[in-house]
């Protein structure tokens, strides 16, 4: 049973904020589709596959960086905020992609990396020439201590000190990530102006919004105080052993975000979703989206860093978000280009990882939560984390932490399009990262042939979801149930939907309130017995 026509008409008229409750498909350009046979995905490849993305029933495409870059961090080290790297194509190719996406009814949002640049960016090249040039203060330069050591104990996410000595300036510069990614001094109003100008360039070109990378790294403590230790973090990588109260999360970040929001409000229908990591990511996500002058939405790393899927993990992440006038709007993702894929991270056995029902379950659960949803490429087929041998690793973080983590390369390998083809149809030549042999079984073409595949299940669920405004923008209230059963009610305009999911690997018992079944996930129905990794959505009477 669908929502009646009057409800849908009301929803359409009031939903000028299209992003609220939208499903956004993340494309990692290097690994999506290679159109010119060089082993690297590109903009023309994405354009050629937009029909597939649109067929899923998603609302928008998020493109990870395609800007000019030396690719030390594979695009997140930007050398020109307004240029397209030749490996991906040209500005004309981007315009073609944008026009095709809009023609298919898809919005397009792009990454903006405002916390740092590449050391090859013209701004940094000028800044490092001396202390008196026009861009001398565009980055964070600091004199050494009397003994020649760095100014404080701040550490890089990618291992080692967050400071690198530059012989030209005879000073240290700050980099929270790679040494080739110097941090911009966003405290400087001229830097803010330049970043606002870059955002305006893409808004004028027609993009529908931004995903803002590492937002809480935009500004640091000007007194450069040492970070205190984080208790109980022995054995982790060094960065995780500090409490990052001074190298990030400065209160003045909010002022810059308000400037950015002010620009975006001059372009109707645009929005920004922030990426916010760290130990306070959930609290900062709520703070950075509060009111109507900051960002519209943000996602934390609560799910991305969760080692297990459980009722408390879901409830703690969702219930933390306030639901009142002026409160921000949450976004959620289970997987992305920076964290191992959820089907591998949360699978309790090899059999569960390979079970298509598990992928169907995770996608349905994610898309039932109150918020906007980011689906990472490959999630539509339940793609598992790729096994990349050490000699093929390219990600500096994966190499530095080998073999302690699954790394980022395993989640960035090429999308398999056709089973049995060289490199699963991604490219005619050896790609930049290898295709896991197991991934041929997950090829898009193979899923298209199977009506029971996760691909078809996702299409069916998103079509159902679009007909239920309560699932798009309604409130959420959790009910008590014995774990591992998760239950909540989504409600809007008097229509109340009971959502029930068995997160466990065994059949579970649950007798809920009387309700009319609307949608079944993995054959679950109301009535007391829930199969493993299953669920249902029903209308409360």
Burial class (CB in 10 A: 0-12, 13-18, 19+), 265: exposed
Shortest CA distance to 299 belongs to which of 245, 369, 396, 248?
Answer: 369
HSE value, Cβ hemisphere, 13 Å, CA-based, for 226: 7
Active site (catalytic) residues? 213, 275
Contact indicator for 274, 212 with CB cutoff of 8 Å: yes
Between CA 337 and CA 65 the distance in angstroms is 11
Between CA 492 and CA 472 the distance in angstroms is 9
Between CA 541 and CA 271 the distance in angstroms is 37
What secondary structure letter does DSSP report for 139? B
Between CA 212 and CA 264 the distance in angstroms is 13
Distance spanning both ends of the chain, measured CA to CA: 13
Structure tokens at 315: 């409830």
List own/partner pairs for 7-12 with CB under 8 A and 24 or more apart. Answer: 7/469, 7/493, 7/495, 8/467, 8/469, 10/469, 10/493, 11/469, 11/472, 11/473
Contact indicator for 473, 21 with CB cutoff of 8 Å: yes
Name the one residue in this structure whose structure tokens are 């997987």. Answer: 335
Between CA 45 and CA 89 the distance in angstroms is 10
Contact indicator for 110, 211 with CB cutoff of 8 Å: yes
Shortest CA distance to 216 belongs to which of 162, 155, 274?
Answer: 274
Q: Which residues of 391-418 are buried (b: 16+ CB within 10 A; e: fewer)?
A: eebebbbbebbeeeebbbbbbbbbbbbe
Helix residue ranges, H only, 152-298: 189-205, 253-264, 281-288
Between CA 449 and CA 238 the distance in angstroms is 48
Between CA 433 and CA 390 the distance in angstroms is 11
Between CA 119 and CA 78 the distance in angstroms is 9
């Amino acid at each position: 049973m669908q929502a009646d026509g009057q409800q849908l008409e009301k929803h359409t008229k009031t939903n000028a904020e299209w992003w609220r409750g939208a499903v956004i498909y993340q494309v990692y350009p290097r690994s999506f589709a290679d159109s010119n046979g060089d082993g690297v995905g590109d903009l023309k490849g994405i354009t050629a596959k937009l029909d597939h993305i649109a067929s899923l029933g998603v609302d928008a495409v998020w493109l990870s960086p395609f800007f000019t870059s030396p690719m030390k961090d594979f695009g997140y080290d930007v050398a020109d905020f307004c240029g397209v790297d030749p490996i991906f194509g040209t500005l004309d190719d981007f315009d073609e992609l944008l026009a095709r996406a809009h023609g298919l009814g898809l919005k397009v949002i792009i990454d903006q990396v405002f916390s740092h640049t590449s050391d090859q960016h013209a701004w940094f090249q000028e800044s490092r020439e001396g202390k008196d040039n026009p861009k001398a203060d565009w980055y964070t330069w600091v004199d050494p201590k009397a003994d020649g050591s760095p100014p404080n104990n701040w550490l890089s996410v990618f291992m080692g000190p967050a400071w690198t000595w530059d012989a030209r300036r005879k000073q240290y510069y700050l980099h929270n990530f790679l040494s080739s990614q110097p941090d911009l001094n966003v405290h400087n109003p001229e830097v803010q102006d330049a970043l606002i100008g870059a955002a305006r360039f893409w808004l004028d070109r027609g993009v529908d919004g931004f995903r803002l990378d590492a937002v809480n790294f935009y500004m640091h403590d000007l007194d450069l105080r040492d970070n205190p230790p984080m208790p109980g973090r022995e054995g982790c990588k060094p960065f995780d052993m500090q409490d990052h109260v001074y190298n990030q999360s400065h209160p003045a970040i909010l002022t810059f975000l308000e400037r950015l929001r002010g620009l975006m409000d001059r372009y109707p229908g645009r929005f920004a979703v922030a990426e916010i990591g760290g130990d306070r990511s959930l609290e900062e996500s709520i703070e950075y989206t509060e009111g109507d002058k900051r960002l519209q939405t943000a996602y934390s790393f609560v799910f991305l860093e969760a080692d297990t899927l459980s009722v408390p993990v879901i409830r703690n992440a969702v219930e933390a978000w306030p639901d009142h006038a002026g409160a921000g709007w949450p976004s959620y993702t289970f997987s992305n280009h920076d964290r191992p894929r959820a089907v591998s991270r949360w699978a309790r056995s090899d059999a569960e990882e390979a079970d298509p029902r598990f992928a169907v379950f995770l996608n349905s659960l994610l898309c039932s939560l109150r918020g906007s949803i980011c689906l990472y490429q490959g999630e539509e087929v339940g793609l598992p984390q790729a096994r990349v041998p050490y000699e093929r690793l390219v990600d500096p973080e994966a190499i530095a932490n080998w073999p302690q983590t699954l790394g980022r390369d395993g989640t960035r390998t090429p999308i398999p399009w056709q089973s049995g083809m060289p490199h699963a149809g991604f490219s005619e030549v050896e790609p930049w990262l290898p295709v896991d042999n197991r991934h041929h079984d997950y090829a898009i073409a193979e899923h298209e042939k199977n009506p029971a595949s996760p691909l078809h299940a996702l299409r069916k669920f998103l079509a159902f979801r679009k007909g239920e405004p309560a699932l798009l923008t309604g409130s959420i209230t959790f009910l008590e149930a014995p774990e591992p059963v998760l239950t909540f009610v989504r409600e809007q305009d008097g229509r109340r939907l009971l959502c029930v999911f068995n997160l466990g690997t065994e059949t579970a018992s649950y007798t809920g309130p009387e309700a009319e079944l609307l949608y079944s996930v993995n054959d679950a129905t109301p009535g007391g017995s829930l199969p493993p990794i299953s669920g249902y959505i029903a209308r409360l009477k």
